[in-house]
Amino acid sequence: MPSHAKALPGPFRAMSRILRRATDLTMVFAGVALALMTVHVVADVTARVVFNSPIPGTLEIVAFYYMVAAIVFPAGYLERRDEHITVELFYGRLSPFGQRVCYVFSGLLTSVFFSIFAYQSWLDALKATATREMVMGAAQIEIWPARYVLPVSFALLVLVALLNVARVFLRPLEDPANKDSTADVD
Amino acid sequence: MSNVEIGFIGLGVLLLLLAVRVPIAVALGSVSFVGIAVLTSSRAAWGILSAVPFNFLGDWSLSAIPMFLLMGFVASRAGLTDGLYKAMRVVFGPVPGGLAVSSVGACALFAAASGSSVATSAAMARIAVPEMLRYRYEPGLACGVIASAGTLGSLIPPSILLVIFGIFAQVSIGELFMAGFLPGLLSAVMFAAMIMVRVKLKPSLAPPLDERPSREEMMQAFRELWMLPVLVLGVLGGIFVGLFTPTEAGAVGAVLALLLAVIRGTASWEGIRQAIVETAISSTAIFVIAIGAVLFMRFMALSGVPDQLSAAMLSVTDNQILILLQVALVYLLLGMFIDSIGIMLLTLPIMLPLVSGADINLVWFGIIVIKLLEIGLVTPPVGLNVYVIKSALGNAVSLSAIFRGVMWFIVADLITLGLLILFPQISLYLPSLM
């Protein structure tokens, strides 16, 4: 941290703190889902192989609850830590100013794309709720609540991306890429 | 403007976005969304956007990705891979270039457990390279072996790349795992043979060790070495005999890794927590790209670009081997700039229609693509694995020295690739037994 950097404005710090907590929380959800999924699948295998009686509905619960929570919830966390898979080759050769321009452009495009996604998945979630959407498998399971994970996670991602863009303007001298953008805000 | 032209413009914009460090997921997704809207209507584009992610999540095979990632992260975070190098050294120490050959063995086993090339190279660089440098191994050899042998993780099952290929090509992941086993082994043997021949011809590359392992050390090595083969063979064996699906195998593998760590006395809550967080991050990063790739597949199919390209390629030749060589060239070129999961998801929407048009076996094709991606991980200028090693070692070795050392391994890899293309049985024999 350069010593001449001005303190970040209060509202920005507050927003950083909120988004850090929110993304941490979704990460906890994802982690719990992942652990439950592992245990559930192993229990199902054991029940099937040893006792020849699988746990009904495992497939559906794994696909529509555990998987959704485990791999969609971390979206905001991913953005916060800049863990997206990117091509670094050309970026690495740009001047610091060029890098900031790319970073801001990329952040804005990311926000637009995931806003569209969040909006559409929100509409889909409302529709699924209205029809009490379920899957027919070995067991009938209502899956509409899982639909809400998508808009919530993608909206969080958009907020974090916008925060990161704002940070480039507030701290034009620091390299924005490949780090946790909320790490130094207390 | 014709559909094909719009498709090619989309491809161009995509490459431009990737160059300015737009996340691959966002680049694929936004180009496809706009492209589909232009080709059909914005209504259709919104419709596809609404259908794709949730249906894709419902694909049972997809759940194999987090499960195998978890197994790998648990195995390394819980210390199963810690003693690997030391143990391998007891076994392979006496052969010419012993430490380098031991590194190949350790990398192969580590890679089998972790499923990730980059993770393997990063971990092994810190353990094995300083040892080799201490014994005055030539720095290029010491680093090259870790960079190259680290890539074995993509081929030796269980491998995340094989799972992703299976999902997109709609090929059985179990068959792909079986198909990857012998080619992975062959690659490792080729590396080891190349090292031994080079050291025999030029002993100064790798001075011999002046130590003989004691009985005690050999017992210790055995205690370290049984765990990972048990883990990997247990998981693969279960798939092979049809006891469980790949997803189930991954979950069983993660629990088994944890049990082995408890036996070994190195399991910890903190390790488990880290393994879970890393798994969630990696799975989500792969998931968002995969969604982008599904959209991109739709966009490409609508534009007719894959048909155009495959017609162009088939008009040159309908010889399968020549087609594969053209494909190989594309992957080697892309491998210089983009990491393997990215390339895989970028290219499959175009490559899959092409190879099914030429009637090429998709399991065999998958193995060859993965081998190409492995080579791409070490070719300059990007060679991701080379940079991983460079960053793990700091200023101890120069980048150009590592790339020079890697060259020999690329030669060995190209021979392996040739064998895989000429003899499809190497890949297809094991799956034929299932």
CB-side exposure of B263: number of CA atoms within 13 Å? 13
Cβ-nearest to A34 among B17, B58, B280: B280
Q: Flag if B23 and A90 touch (Cβ within 8 Å).
A: no
pLDDT band, very low/low/confident/very high, at A142 (cuts 50, 70, 90): confident
Look at B337 and A89 and tell me if their CB atoms are within 8 Å: yes
**B18 touches A at CB < 8 Å:** yes
How would you label A73-112 residue by residue, b for 16+ Cβ within 10 Å and e otherwise? bbbbbbbbbbbbbbbbeebeeeeeeebbebbbebbebbbe
Query: pLDDT above 70 covers what percent of chain A?
Result: 95
Residues found in chain B: 434
Cβ-nearest to A87 among B248, B337, B381:
B337
Does the pLDDT value for residue A3 go beyond 70?
no
Do residue B23 and residue A110 have CB atoms under 8 angstroms apart?
Answer: yes
Q: Is B30 on the interface with A (CB under 8 A)?
A: yes
Q: How many CA atoms lie within 13 A of B259 on its CB side?
A: 9
pLDDT average, residue stretch B402-431:
92
Residue pLDDT, tens place only, A155-186: 999 999 999 999 999 888 888 888 888 887 77
pLDDT tens figures, A48-103:
988 888 888 888 888 888 999 999 999 999 999 988 888 877 888 889 999 999 99
- Bond prior to B66 in cis (omega within 30° of 0): no
Phi, psi of B188 (to 5 degrees): -65, -45
B140 token code pair:
């290029």
Distance from CA of B189 to the nearest CA of A (A): 32
Q: Cis ω on the peptide bond leading into residue B381 (within 30° of 0)?
A: yes
Q: How far apart are CA B345 and CA B168, in angstroms?
A: 8
SS3 content of chain B, % helix, strand, coil (to 5): 80, 0, 20
| pLDDT at A177 (0 to 100) | 83
Contact yes or no for B66 and A67 at CB 8 A? yes
Q: Does A71 touch chain B if contact means CB atoms closer than 8 Å?
A: yes
Residue B154: predicted pLDDT: 86
**Are the CB atoms for B343 and B334 separated by under 8 Å?**
yes
**Is the Cβ of B340 closer than 8 Å to some Cβ of chain A?**
no
Predicted confidence band of residue A5 (pLDDT cuts 50, 70, 90) = low
What is the average pLDDT across B320-338? Answer: 80
pLDDT tens, residue by residue, B92-149:
888 888 899 999 999 988 888 777 777 788 888 888 888 888 888 998 899 999 999 9
- Does A124 contact chain B (CB < 8 Å)? yes
Contacts of B60 in chain A (CB under 8 A): 59, 62-63
Q: What is the mean pLDDT of residues B25-39?
A: 94
Contact across the interface for B285 and A116, Cβ inside 8 Å: no
Instruction: Tell me the whole-structure pTM to 2 decimals.
Output: 0.88
Q: What is the ipTM of this complex?
A: 0.92
Name beta bridge partners: A142.
A134
d(CA B66, CA B279): 6
In chain A, residues with a C-beta closer than 8 Å to the C-beta of B29 are 113, 117
**Cβ B50–A78 below 8 Å, yes or no?**
no
Phi first, then psi: give them for residue A136, nearest 5 degrees.
-100, 115
Is there a contact between B103 and B146 (Cβ–Cβ < 8 Å)?
A: yes
Q: Which of A8, A26, A6 is nearest to A159 (CA)?
A: A26
Compute the count of residue pairs across chains A and B with CB atoms less than 8 Å apart: 172
Q: What are phi and psi of B243, to 5 degrees?
A: -70, -40
Q: Show Cβ contacts of residue B430 under 8 Å, excluding neighbours closer than 6 positions.
A: B178, B179, B181, B182, B240
| B:254-273 residues touching chain A, CB 8 A cutoff | 254-255, 273
Instruction: Judge whether residue A4 has pLDDT over 60.
Output: no
